[in-house]
Amino acid sequence: MALVLPGLALPHLQVAEALAALGPTPRAALGDLLGVSGTESARGLDEALGTLADHALVWPDGEGLLRMAAPLRQAWQTPLGLDAPLARLLADMTSEELRRMLVALGVRTTGNTKQQRLTALVDHHSDAERVAEVVAGAPAVTRELLERLAGHETEQPESQTEFTILGAPGVPLSDSEPGARWALERGLLVQDHRRYGATRMPAEVALALRGADWHAPFEPVPPSVRSTPVTPAEADQEAAAAATAFAAHAASVLAVCSASPPTRLKSGGVGAREMSRIGKAAQCDDIVVRLALETAYHAGLLARDGSQVAATKGYDAWAQREPAEQLTALLQAWRTLPLTPAQARDEDGKVLPAIAGSPPCEGCAQARDGLLTAAAHLPAGQGAKSAAELGPLVAWYRPLADQLPQDSTPFATLAREAELLGVVGRGALSCIGAALQADDVEALAAACQRLLPTATRAARFGADLTAVVTGTPSAQLASLLDTVADREAGGTASVWRFSPGSVRRALDAGRTPEAIAADLAAVAVGALPQPLTYLINDTARSHGRMRVTSAASVIHGEEPALLAELAAHRKLAGLGLRLLAPTVLVSRIPLDKTVAALRAAGYAPVAESADGTVRVEQNRHRRAATPVPHPRAPGGTSSRQGTSARTKGSLAAVDVGALAAKLQAAPPVAPEPDPASGIPFGTDTEEIVAGHARLLSLTDVRQLAHAIDKGQDVTIEYVAASGSRTVRTLSELDLDPPYLYAWCHLRDDERVFTLSRIHGVMPA
């Protein structure tokens, strides 16, 4: 059931909700409630019933009634804002209470059994005209109360395309409410016979009060979208340009991550600062960086490596492939992502990290499926004015899909993702999108091969010290240019610029000026420009004119022969001595260890301070701490002697066999409570919480485990995925390691908390 419902369209859920409100009913009665009139709405009802029947959710029985699966009925606590039928609400009433209701209504019954009286009362309330007649004769305050209650539960969302599961039935109302007693005496309102709990309005009464003109919401036709004529060739052409640019940008982003792995936040994920660094180096926007990181991580090209996110061995093979093959792997990952990768902010407007390891979002996957379905059902030869206008269609095809809090237009971020990936072009589904919608891997690979050009293996070098590569550069070409030049732009055409600093970077990596010039000439269209050749040679002439070496300590003296002897001494080979000048040696070992090694070899060096003066060594005498005296034994005997004597006496007096039998016969001992808090030690829940919430102290672990076991409220200090700290009070705790599901009083909503991000626990 949980797998079927998210994939149903809005009219399917509306029909199911109406049937859940009516119970087993003929098709005609269902159509009347939904306001079906006309061929189009009747066809929509038949199509919805057929879809529900295909999933074994609704079926006709032998009596001409439509019945539904019991679990589907439980999806709504108050379908259409209606409470349970009268027969169910009055099931616990006594026969005498039912008789008094019939007398108050002026209804006579031939039988005196409870079932006969209940049947007569249900028959009366099922007649909307008779209920309206009774209400018309009620006191004015009662009529206002009944109309208010019937209208209170039928409030609809502003957008009819929104689908919500309503809250718990009934309203808090006592029988002392003005007008309530009159309605309770006639069964127009029902309360527990012990006068306990909420007052509930039977479904028959609510429908009668709403009137014959009221109908349940039913939208069998999808909303209209502003469209424009688009041919498949035009859509593919637009998609090809976008897909080519994204493939090049993704290759650049992953190349940056391979060369300089981004550092993860303490709370997990790649933060905004690291993404900004990657975007600047790869010359692309934040949304492209997020999209590339998330799809690459899901495709196995990136992985968490301690405090960093590093490229995997799979990335090395991926980088050598053609752009079409690279994009195919990323598109397959995007299709199955359990999140919306371009989501940059949470419901509080705080920036979210990428690759944060958030709980799976089934609604996000349904939104992606709804976008592909909506674009696929556009009229042939038509496309939306803009991809963002597909949002209402997505909400109609997948009403249970999650919308991002950062979107001012429904599903705008998701539509932008589809445009960047080439899934949608000019508001219509491209051949790439059609293959994704059909979940056909072979068709997806063929579409990418057709739309994306092969990798470019040559560059055009200009006299302005730039290199331009049209299309997507091959991995070898991009690596060569990244080594010798700085990338300035990317996309359908990439631009690199040479400078003394970039050429020096290549020389520092061990390349010679001759090798640099030869490698660039091998990939150049034509001869290398003279300014570029001059730049390489001029930079090489000044490269290495001075050298910097590292030394842990320096040995110098006035006798070159002595220092030459030290450098050749076999026993001092471990010092790594190197002669820089006739009177200067450098050692790779720190000063104190170098001095000790020289003295062990028979030499007499002295150590110098940082200012060049001789360091005077002073011997420091080590002294032990004052020992703590042993505690005195009773009676003046020393502790050690008394203990020994008592131990020998005890062992002689104890019967070991009797002690073992006594221990075996003893009942199991329950965990003792903590004297300070009264919470038991060592419960199973405590072990589970301690295994995941490693930042909590032992006391906090016990406090949280006790609240989970006893169903108590608790206050926690929580570090969100964005790194911000909040203090939240939680109720209805449900442990599902490594997550904690609870009702958050701060957000007034059910939230999911990661145990490892809980940094403190306090009583509520």
- 153, pLDDT greater than 80: no
- Answer for the pair 461, 429: CB distance below 8 angstroms, yes or no: no
Higher pLDDT, 69 or 358: 69
The answer, yes or no, to whether residue 340 has pLDDT greater than 80, is yes
Mean pLDDT of 109-137: 88
Yes or no: say if 68 and 57 are a contact pair by the CB < 8 Å rule. Answer: yes
pLDDT above 90 (res 387): no
**Contacts (Cβ under 8 Å, ≥6 apart) of 600:** 571
Q: 17 near 400, Cβ under 8 Å?
A: no
Q: What is the pLDDT of residue 595?
A: 87
Average pLDDT, the chain: 84
Given a contact cutoff of 8 angstroms between Cβ atoms, the answer to whether 740 and 755 are in contact is: yes
pLDDT digits (tens, 9 = 90+) for 634-645: 444 443 444 444
The model's confidence at residue 654, banded by pLDDT at 50, 70 and 90, is low
pLDDT at 25 (0 to 100)? 86
Confidence (pLDDT) at 732:
92
Range 707-711 average pLDDT: 91
pLDDT at 680: 58
Span 298-326, pLDDT tens digits: 999 999 988 899 999 999 899 888 889 99
Judging by DSSP bridges, how do beta strands 466-470 and 460-461 pair with one another?
Answer: antiparallel
Averaged pLDDT for residues 184-197: 78
**What pLDDT score does 639 carry?**
39
pLDDT of 719 strictly over 80:
yes
| Local structure of residue 526 (DSSP, 8 states) | S
Q: What angle do CA 500, 502, 508 make, to 5 degrees?
A: 100
Q: Which amino acid is at 23?
A: G
pTM value > 0.75: no
pLDDT at 167: 38
- Angle in degrees, CA 234, 238, 244, rounded to 5: 140
Over range 138-157, report the average pLDDT.
Answer: 74
The secondary element (H helix, E strand) that includes residue 734 is: strand 725-736
